[in-house]
Structure 1
Amino acid sequence: MRTIAWNCQGAGKASTVRALKELIRESNPDIVFLSETKIKSPKINKICDRLKFVDSWCVDSNGKSGGLALFWRLGVELEVVFSDKNMIVALVFSDPPEAPWLLFVIYGPYQRSKRKKFWELLENMVSSFSGPWVVIGDFNCIKRAKEKCGGRVVAESSVNCLKDFMMNTGSIDLGFIGPSFTWSNRGGRL
C-alpha cells in the first residue's frame, strides 16, 4: 500500500493542487495525507473529487493555520477512529481483512510546551493496540541535532520526546525519500 504524507503549507492554492496532482500521477498512492492545509472541509472535499479519491477525512484549519486531510482510493477499507488538530488515526483493513492495522497520520505540535503531552497520547494509543501500526507525517520534532540545519539550537528535551516514544514503543525509523532539508525559517523552502 503506497502512502504519501506532505506538509503542503496551504492546500487552497492552485499551484499546490497542481503539484499534488503531479505527485499522485507519478507515485500512484492509495492514501494521501496533507498537513497544514489551512482550509476547511468544503474545499478539502472538492480537492478529493478533483484528485479522484473515493473518500476523505478532514480536520478543519484554525483560521490560516493547521488543518489535516486524509484521502483514500476505492478499494482501501479504512475507518477513522480518532482525530484532533494534530492527528488522524485510522484502522486499515487490508490483506487479510481480519487483521487490521492502525495508521497514524500526524502533524506534531510546533509549540515545545505541547509536545510532551502529544507524544504521551500517541504512545498510549499505540500501546493499547495489539496489532501492527505505522506513524507518518510531519513530526515537528527530530531525533538528533544533525537532522536540523541552522536556526536555534535544539533543546535536548525537544529531541527526547521522539526518542522516548521510539524506545518505549519499539518503533523503527523506515526513513524517507527526498531531500534531507526542505525548509528554512529564513526564506522558506531550500
Structure 2
Amino acid sequence: MKICMWNVRGANRNLFLSHAKEIGFNQNPDIFIFLETKADGSRARETMLALKFSDFRVVRPIGTRGGIWMFWKKTVDMVLFDAENTYFHSLFHFKNFGKEGLVTAMHAPSSSKEKHHHWNSIRSNLPPKNTPWLVLGDMNEITGQSEKMGGRPFRVNQGKDMLNFMDEAGLVDLGFNGSPFT
C-alpha cells in the first residue's frame, strides 16, 4: 500500500495535470492526496479520471485558500470520511494489509489563532489507541530554530499546540526527504 501527498498550491494551473500524471505513473500510489488545491470538485473529478483512480473526496477551499483532494484505487475500501475546513479523517480497509487504518491529511492554517483552534479540534477527536494512524500534510508549524531560516527568532511556545497534539496522540515525526526549507 502506497500513499502520496503533494502540496500543489493550485490545481487549476496549466502544468498541474501533466505533473500529477507523472507522479502517479512513477509512484503508482493506492491513495493520492493533494493539498492546497484552491479548486472545486469538478476539477477533482477531471483529475481523478485522468489519473485512473476509482473514487475521490474533496474538502472545499475557502475562497482562494486551502482545499484538499483525496483519490483512491480499488485496492482499498473507504469505511468512513469526516472533514473539517483544514483536514479530513478517512478510515480505510486495506485489502493487502487485512485491517483498517486511519489516514488524516491536513493543510493547517498559518495564523496563530486559527492554528490554536485547528490543533485543539483535532486533539479533541483522537481515534482509539490501537488504531493504525497516519497523519500527513502541511502542518504550517515549526518546533525549533533549526526548522527556519531568517525572519523572527523561534519562540519557545510557537509549536506548543502541535507538540501537545502529537504527544497526546502518541505520534512520531518520521522526518522528510528533500529541501528543509520549502
Which letter maps to 2:159? V
TM superposition shift of 1:106: 0.7
Root-mean-square deviation over aligned CA pairs: 1.7
Quote the Cα distance in structure 1 between the aligned partners of 2:175 and 2:143.
12
Q: Helix, strand or coil: the match of 1:126?
A: coil
Larger mean CA deviation between 170-179 and 35-44 belongs to 170-179
- Report the Cα distance in structure 1 between the residues aligned to 2:151 and 2:4, rounded to whole angstroms: 28
Q: Within 2, Cα distance between the matches of 1:8 and 1:36?
A: 6
Question: How many residues get paired?
Answer: 181
Look up the SS of the partner of 1:14 in the other structure.
Answer: coil
Q: Name the amino acid aligned to 1:136.
A: L
User: Deviations 1:56-86 (Å, cap 9, x if unpaired)?
Assistant: 1011222222111011112111234310111
Q: Deviations over 1:30-52 (max 9, x none)?
A: 11111110111111111111111
> Which residue matches 2:44?
44
Quick one: which amino acid aligns to residue 151 of structure 2? G
Query: 2:156, 2:127 → 1: CA distance?
Result: 25
Shift of 1:176: 2.1
State which drifts further: 63-72 or 117-126: 117-126
Equivalent residue number for residue 142 of structure 2: 142
- How far off is 1:16 after superposition? 1.7
One-letter code of the match for 1:14? N
Give, in whole Å, the separation in 2 of the partners of 1:151 and 1:21. Answer: 36
Alignment gaps of 5+ in structure 1: 183-190
Report which stretch shifted further, 171-180 or 27-36. Answer: 171-180
Partners of 2:25 and 2:134 in 1: CA distance: 24
Q: Deviations over 1:79-119 (max 9, x none)?
A: 3431011111100112554x312110111111111112211
1:134-173 to structure 2, matched below 5 A, reads: 134-173=134-173
Q: Following the alignment from structure 2 to structure 1, what is the Cα–Cα distance between the partners of residues 36 and 97?
A: 33
Report the equivalent of 1:19.
Answer: 19
Normalised TM-score (structure 2): 0.91
Q: How does 1:42-121 map to 2 (within 5 A)?
A: 42-94=42-94, 95=96, 97=98, 99-121=99-121
Length-normalised TM-score, structure 1: 0.87
Partner of 1:188: none
In structure 2, give the amino acid aligned to 1:120.
N
Paired residue type of 2:150:
G
Distance of 2:8 and 2:151 partners within structure 1 = 21
State the Cα distance separating 1:128 from its structure 2 match: 4.5
Separation (CA, whole Å) in 2 of partners of 1:127 and 1:80: 12
Q: Between the two proteins, what is the percent identity of the paired residues?
A: 28
Letter in 2 for 1:137: G
Deviation at 1:23, TM superposition (A): 1.4
Structure 1: distance between partners of 2:129 and 2:116 = 20
Letter in 2 for 1:36: E
